[in-house]
Chains A and B, each alone.
Chain A
């Protein structure tokens, strides 16, 4: 190959490579832009979530539902594109520092919640596939709090993100200081001082520029508190013979059990909560009207609210018990922490979040119920009743009655069954449904009135619900007479059947009376054949004389009583199914009798034939019927 040809080939290859590279870059660019657009949607979703979280507490059902949806969207995006890193700027977010993926202008709410974290020094954060709902909720919670200024003096975005401990979220922040002004105490800037100390550590024999500036005297005993001073003096006075190293080795082994006890001590929390509250209460006790006392009260409230925020309900209960025991003392304080807590924890949104927690965390239910009892049972009850009477969908319906039962004392039971509240069909429906889910509903005071109200209601659904409750009242004679018997006669099919079944199970005499009145006297208009036969079967099963009575109904004559003929047919079929020996003969007799209507004759012959019994009808009679 000539050199020219070779050069040409190389050039061609270069061009091809360049072309591939350009194509690849453009492809990458398109991918990035696509991802940026998708991220815009994601960050708008974050905005919506943040907005919701400004209003509702973290575990509120609305917040949880939206967070789950958004986490799903995010994970789908991450599954497609891999981990995403977003750099923060004053007014925009960029994907990998390149393409703008979000800004105030792109925000549907014309909001930019990322400035404050940026101003705190957050440079970038990333999300990986597998981001959980909890991680996302906590991440947005940090952003919301930072924007609202709801952070302690020792916190900012960086420290809070560190505390998130979210394996699928990573971030980096500015160091927090740069070359600043000269610090008078040191005679140099802050970074210079740090450098000096580092250099000193690396080269300790070198002169220390910091020593010349401020450190003319060290700490003295006056800088220590009196207790520490005392103790150091005590230690000075004690003389202990120096132990040999081997003796130390024998004496200072550590056993696992002792270590476990230390960890358990910390983990139990009771100790620290108790100590903390004791400390604060001592302040309040000593100076209830002082600002120190007020501050102590505020700290108690904040500690408790954040235990709740972290879903440490047991801790909340411990504190509430401690406070309840000192109710009198606290009422003298300038700011009563117990009253504050009751107000905050019984606020409607907070209660909804707590109820949601009750639903979602079964192992915490006892503690939650105890907590609610310690707060203000009447307020909690009032809230629950408001929710239960609400029209439309209500979250966690299943568990509301459970909670209501736990927080309602005997003195408070009347509120659940007042005339006014029982007018609400929604309330009654939820309560009756809930009664089936609680233990021993019959043992609960309000349940009787609730069941009675359900049985007596015009709505069939409520009647059915009431009848389904395993309750002594349903089985009682008064309920049977007042409600079940009338229901067995009127109303929808299901209601009648259910009422009849209950009567049959618990009140035979009444059942039979009802059947007799309804069926044997021909009062079964509006009932289906199936229902009539059901009743007939039940009647036969329970009443020894039933077959005889029904045979009389089979032996029907005349041409004008259509209802009687219909009933006779049903009675005949039921008797045959029951294995009655005599009914077939009666039917044959009727099938051939001059006094029977032709339709009845034909029906009986058909029934006998269907049931596989001998018909035995004369041929001329068949001819007559045909003509």
Chain B
């Protein structure tokens, strides 16, 4: 491949006009919770648990809590602490240095009382906070063994698991680690979309971290990720579709030869390109016909809405391009063909379209049954050159395979097998290996066969066995 020049795609993007990035909820709410908790406990120590000042502080705190519940549209806040940090509902709270040092006493007080988690619920009263101060005093005196026994209707204390070490030092299982990346991506995307629906504009940096981990593992575990998609672990919903499209886009981007940064950008663009729809902000035509002139305005209005949601980062910019290009070509009547050799959408848009449509076909939707992968790929083949870039489509078919990893297939030998590796992709050969993956036969005498090997040329895949026909689903461990 020719040496890749770097341009806009290589830019790190940051806000330089003096405006800070949007502050996370944890950075706003977290310090307030910690400060007031510390104040209450300290007042309890110095003044006694029944002192009037505690009630005053508690009332102030409760007012602030109610405001914050309203502002952030939350019903509860959970404050967690470790030996080194504070977290709000799982997000690290950032303090200024002096505040952090002052809160050492709060952390110590809780951890020594064998608790590390406090949950505040909407409707909390000042009296409940006063009771907490009383309970803390009792623990200090030895009248109460632990604060974990403390419970109020809107305030509870507990010892949550696995917060003892900030960095998980437990033995890492590499295979589980890989699956966790995909699982984490699904859940993080779900949470991201949930917050969007509630009107927030949450940070995506944790999603990006996961995609970076995924990118690091594509060299060795690309097949596993494709296999996990095909397991359809969760029913098809927007967030599942977004995460899957990201994974497939990244697999394709990697196969094209893009750098790891660009692979991650592909993934991020795929995840976030429809966030304006998630938030329900779109007004567009129900239908558009070929030749319609209004499609451009429809598309532009979508793009303008989307542009309001992003900040000035490159991913926000890239997703504008991909959204804009759905209505490609610009400013012309909607044509029959989206793709044309001489005038075509950007490579990024073309990659994501293939990934997105393949996922919709294979995951299914309401009113649309899931297709097996080979049928989905036939749909792709039918529109190569008119809607889909033929080179990319071929690449996709070869990389993912007509019988993708994770599919259970029937072989011409009469055996049933699990596809465990994508076909070996060779360039400049007359015959592609797209239909000849590596399989592991199921049953007692399991054996692995690379169907692209000459010794197995006589063996063919007859069909993908639909999930409904399977008595039991193969474990993801078989993919390793």
Seen from chain A, the residues whose Cβ lies within 8 Å of a Cβ on chain B are 89-91, 104, 112, 115-116, 119-121, 123, 145, 149-156, 158-160, 162-163, 165, 172-181, 183-186, 189-191, 193-195, 197-198, 200-205, 208, 210-211, 215, 217-221, 223-232, 234-235, 238-240, 242-243, 245-246, 248-256, 258-273, 275-276, 278-280, 282-283, 286-287, 290-292, 295-296, 298-299, 301-303, 305-307, 309-310, 312, 314-315
Contact = CB atoms under 8 A, between A and B. Distances in A.
Interface stretch (B35-43, B64-72, B141-149, B204-212): B204-212
Contacts, number: 442
A154 B268 contact: yes
B357 A232 contact: yes
A155 B265 CA distance: 12
B193 to A, nearest CB: 9
A154 B205 contact: yes
B476 A202 contact: yes
Nearest to A185: B194
B342 interface: no
A90 B186 contact: no
Contacts of B235: 211, 215, 218
Given A202-B475, A224-B360, 8 more contacts: A115-B100, A119-B93, A153-B205, A154-B313, A181-B78, A225-B274, A243-B378, A259-B427
B89 A181 contact: yes
A208 B232 CA distance: 12
Given A255-B428, A282-B300, A197 B325 contact: no
B1 A263 contact: yes
Interface stretch (B47-55, B126-134, B160-168, B441-449): B160-168
A286 B331 CA distance: 12
Contacts of A262: 256-257, 347, 391-392, 395
Interface in B1-20: 1-2, 4-17, 20
B470 to A, nearest CB: 9
A259 B1 contact: yes
B395 A248 contact: no
A150 B432 contact: no
B389 to A, nearest CB: 8
Contacts of A238: 379, 382-383
A181 B286 contact: no
Contact of A190 (B16, B84, B191, B282): B191
A123 B166 contact: yes
B380 to A, nearest CB: 9
A279 B321 contact: yes
A178 B90 contact: yes
B28 interface: no
B472 A205 contact: yes
A73 to B, nearest CB: 26
Given A120-B92, A162-B212, A231-B387, A248 B402 contact: yes
B1 A160 contact: no
B25 interface: no
Interface in B359-412: 360, 363-368, 378-379, 381-383, 387, 391-392, 394-395, 397-398, 402
Interface in B281-301: 282, 284-288, 295, 298-300
B388 to A, nearest CB: 10
B333 interface: no
B231 A204 contact: yes
A179 B307 contact: no
Contact of B14 (A152, A190, A267, A270): A152
A286 to B, nearest CB: 6
Given A261-B391, A306-B13, A181 B76 contact: yes
A291 B268 contact: no
Interface string B301-316: 0111101101111111
Contacts of B366: 217-221
A433 B382 CA distance: 69
A259 B9 contact: no
B327 interface: yes
A371 to B, nearest CB: 14
B312 A279 contact: no
Contact of B167 (A116, A162, A174): A174
A165 B317 CA distance: 23
Contacts of A204: 231, 233, 472-476
Contacts of A229: 287
A91 B100 contact: yes
Contact of A154 (B203, B303, B357): B203
8 contacts: A232-B357, A262-B395, A279-B324, A283-B300, A299-B320, A302-B13, A303-B11, A306-B14
A200 B472 CA distance: 13
Contacts of B45: none
